[in-house]
């Protein structure tokens, strides 16, 4: 560290210092993820999710406070003040951009594994990731919206509208009755892009069979999920995939 300080004072290796700053963020993200994965492995996903929320609030608060002092931005209630000063339309644009970045990050990982190990391994990694990400996303949304532990179909409907996909895709919900809905992904950013390039649908059903049931169960353990159709299944032009969610009251 003393060598870095000396180099900085002398104006040397500034590029190295800049790259170290960016690399520091990279290391934090990787270490955070490694901790979460291992806690989930050791004590179970439900316990890991509970621990992660405590860790995130404390960790983010510490990081923002320290970085804010150096970069000159204030933090209010654990949030950079600049966000609270943004108009709603700019916040919505930012949320959409974050959603696109999330999807792009997912695609970059998939392609990296596919290019090195093949489609089979990429799909297995992708499907397994959803067993962790879907419960995490559901847990985040439940806290964000203060949803009850057994909120049933009404809670699921609200939660589906706050998934990352909801910020970048077009989706709809049909009420069958008070205990059942049909969810449709009317326009999928990934599939629409493939369609524009003249490519067939990406066969995402194996991921969906993990993603949607895990999400629904994390919202309310009584909810059962049925796939109506998802590529490589045939589907109408009005939607790419469709899922039926039913609340089973006497579920053991």
Walk along the chain (252 residues) and give the pLDDT tens digit of each residue: 666 566 555 666 788 888 999 999 999 999 999 999 999 999 999 999 999 999 999 999 899 999 999 999 999 988 999 999 999 999 999 999 999 999 999 999 999 999 999 999 999 999 999 999 999 999 999 999 999 999 999 999 999 999 999 999 999 999 999 999 999 999 999 999 999 999 999 999 999 999 999 999 999 999 999 999 999 999 999 999 999 999 998 755
Q: Return d(Cα 215, Cα 7) in angstroms, integer.
A: 50
Can you give the pLDDT at residue 16? 86
Strands 223-229 and 241-247: antiparallel
DSSP per-residue letters across 30-77:
HHHHHHHHHHHHHH-HHHHHHHHHHHHHHHHHHHHHHHHHHHT--EET
**Can you give the pLDDT at residue 5?**
62
What does the block give as tokens for 182? 């049909």
Chain centroid to CA 10: how far? 43
Residue bearing tokens 């490694």: 34
pLDDT at residue 251, rounded to an integer: 54
Where does the chain hold its CATH 3.30.1380 domain(s)? 86-251
| Architecture of the domain whose range is 86-251 | 2-Layer Sandwich (3.30)
Joined together, the tokens standing for residue 18 give 């800049």
Residue whose tokens read 């963020």: 25
At residue 14, the pLDDT reads 83
- 168-204 burial, b at 16+ Cβ within 10 Å, e below that, comes to bbebeeeeeeeebbbbbbeebbbbeeeeeeeeebbeb
């Amino acid at each position: 560290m003393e060598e870095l300080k000396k180099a900085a004072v002398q104006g040397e290796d500034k590029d190295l210092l800049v790259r170290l700053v960016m690399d520091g963020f990279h290391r934090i993200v990787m270490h955070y993820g490694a901790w979460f994965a291992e806690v989930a492995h050791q004590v179970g996903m439900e316990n890991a999710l509970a621990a992660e929320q405590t860790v995130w609030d404390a960790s983010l608060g510490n990081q923002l406070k320290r970085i804010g002092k150096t970069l000159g931005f204030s933090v209010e209630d654990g949030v950079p003040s600049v966000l609270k000063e943004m108009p709603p339309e700019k916040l919505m644009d930012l949320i959409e951009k974050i959603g696109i970045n999330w999807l792009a990050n997912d695609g970059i990982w998939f392609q990296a594994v596919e290019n090195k190990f093949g489609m089979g391994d990429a799909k297995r990694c992708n499907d397994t990731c959803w067993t962790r990400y879907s419960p995490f996303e559901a847990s985040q949304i439940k806290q964000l919206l203060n949803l009850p532990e057994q909120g049933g179909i009404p809670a699921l409907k609200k939660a589906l509208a706050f998934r990352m996909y909801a910020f970048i895709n077009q989706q709809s919900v049909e009420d069958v009755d008070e205990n059942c809905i049909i969810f449709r992904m009317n326009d999928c950013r990934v599939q629409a892009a493939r369609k524009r390039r003249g490519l067939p649908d990406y066969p995402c059903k194996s991921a969906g069979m993990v993603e949607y049931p895990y999400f629904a169960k994390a919202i309310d353990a009584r909810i059962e999920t049925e796939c109506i159709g998802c590529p490589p299944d045939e589907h109408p032009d009005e939607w790419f995939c469709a899922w039926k969610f039913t609340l089973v009251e006497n579920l053991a």
